[in-house]
Amino acid sequence: MATAQSDCCEWSKYIPWVSTALLGVYVIYQFVKKDKCCDWVNKDVQKDQPKVATSVDIEDLGEKTSFCRCWRTKKWPYCDGSHKGHNKCTGDNVGPLVIKKETK
Active site residues per annotation:
51
Distance in angstroms (rounded) separating the CA atoms of residues 18 and 4: 21
Strand ranges inside 1-104, DSSP E:
64-67, 97-100
